[in-house]
Amino acid sequence: MPYDHITNGFSNGYTNGNSELHVVDLRSDTISKPTQAMREAMAIAPVGDDVYGEDPTVNLLIQKSCQLFGKEDGILVPSGTMANMIARGPAQLAGVQQALVRNKNDGTFCLDEMCSRIRIDPDCHEPYTALIVVENTHNMCGGKVLPLEWLDKLGNIAKSHGIAVHMDGARIMNAAVASKVELSRIVRDMDSVCFCLSKSLGAPIGSVLLGTKAFIERAKRVRKVLGGGMRQAGIMAAAGIVALDSMMDQLRIDHEHLRQIAEAIHNMNSKIFKVDLQADTNILMIYLDNRKVTADKFLQRLYDVYPNDPIKVRIRASTRDNSCIRFVFYWEITDEDVQMAIKKLEYVIREFETKTSV
Ligand SMILES: *Cc1c(COP(=O)(O)O)cnc(C)c1O
């Protein structure tokens, strides 16, 4: 950590004279750690061999997930990447080609453009279209919830062409909580859906892929091909069950935290920094005028604490590109963290405004 020397030589007013500075780490929800309840559940979880279908804790997690999503069956895999790979198989694994349709800012894409890319009875030089993939919430669009009417239209188009739809629902729980729509309704027209236990839900490992019994039968073969059949996977499923049973309310708090920070930045009326006020889940994009300040420079200043700074807080975040930084909220970010982060943001933004106006 190249900036640690900055912590030397003065005390931090927030933590009982401890010289460590308070850090608000908003880089990603993947850094969220398992809760105490999860750790305890993992320690005592009854387990068996999941490759034999004999792990009772995995089976319970799948049963709960199927109920929530209204799907027939599911499998537990180590990561979201693997769940998506199993569901669609990228080029290097399965000879599958992808046709990308450009996103709009709200996470949707133009359905007419999608239709123009569908190849139903193509020339022998072209692959035929077998699958449409959507992402909900949409990460790089700032955690946007895909509108239900749009999903319904997409579902109808896919059905009329006999094409399957897969939802990359890494953060679909955030979508359900923000839109107050049941998971089973959101994925009604989806042939398969996966969600991450390890992001905003806080579990340490794992993603669940859901679909029909026949689909999951095939998925288990592909999981083997990918090298990922796990044995006593109930250890990780146990944390997932705690996540499903007790972390949904926390997501509402995460969304509220995001709103407080978004509004604080918006209310500054900065000419340099604009916040995405449409953000309504746990991902906030902050856009900046990179002729005045680059994303890297802003990020660095949010992290640095100079000896004369009145606000002794470091904020960690990630950059999307040189004119956008991203905050992601999760259960370990507290009310106090949010208040401190707002003070720091207000201080730093005001400083840049003053510097660049002369
Ligand atoms: C994180 C993420 C993935 C991949 O999940 P991992 O568990 O990190 O492999 C896939 N899709 C989206 C939208 C994600 O945010």
Evaluate: CB of 139 within 6 angstroms of ligand 1. Answer: yes
Q: Whose CA is nearest to atom 13 of ligand 1?
A: 170
Tally of CA atoms within 13 A in the half-sphere of 191 that contains its CB: 20
Candidate of 196, 199, 208 to mutate for ligand 1, largest count of ligand atoms within 8 Å of Cβ: 196
Candidate of 29, 77, 81 to mutate for ligand 1, largest count of ligand atoms within 8 Å of Cβ: 81
Cα separation, 64 vs 203, whole angstroms: 16
Q: Whose CA is nearest to atom 14 of ligand 1?
A: 170
Output the pLDDT for position 227.
Answer: 85
Cα separation, 326 vs 140, whole angstroms: 9
- Of ligand 1's atoms, which has the minimum distance to the CA of residue 78? 7
Q: How far is the CA of 92 from the centre of ligand 1 (A)?
A: 18
Q: How far is the CA of 175 from the centre of ligand 1 (A)?
A: 15
Output the pLDDT for position 140.
Answer: 93
Output the pLDDT for position 6.
Answer: 35
Candidate of 144, 168, 171, 320 to mutate for ligand 1, largest count of ligand atoms within 8 Å of Cβ: 168
- Of ligand 1's atoms, which has the minimum distance to the CA of residue 196? 7
**Among residues of the chain, what percentage have pLDDT more than 70?**
93
Q: Whose CA is nearest to atom 6 of ligand 1?
A: 80
Evaluate: CB of 170 within 6 angstroms of ligand 1. Answer: yes
Q: Going residue by residue through the chain, which has 358 residues, state the pLDDT in tens, using 9 for 90 and above.
A: 333 333 333 333 334 444 579 999 999 999 999 999 999 999 999 999 999 999 999 999 999 999 999 999 999 999 999 999 999 886 667 778 889 999 999 999 999 999 999 988 888 888 889 999 999 999 999 999 999 999 999 999 999 999 999 999 999 999 999 999 999 999 999 999 999 999 999 999 999 999 999 999 999 999 998 887 899 999 999 999 999 999 999 999 999 999 999 999 999 999 999 999 999 999 999 999 999 999 999 999 999 999 999 999 999 999 999 999 999 999 999 999 999 999 999 999 999 999 887 5
Own/partner contacts of 285-291, CB < 8 Å, gap of 24 or more, are 285/142, 285/320, 285/324, 285/325, 285/326, 286/324, 286/325, 286/326, 286/327, 287/323, 287/324, 288/323, 288/324, 288/325, 289/323, 290/322, 290/323
Per residue in 165-189, pLDDT (tens digit) is 999 999 999 999 999 999 999 999 9
CB 136 within 8 A of CB 168: yes
Q: What is the mean pLDDT of the chain?
A: 92
pTM over the 0.85 mark: yes
Tokens of 210: 């859901």
Output the pLDDT for position 9.
Answer: 35
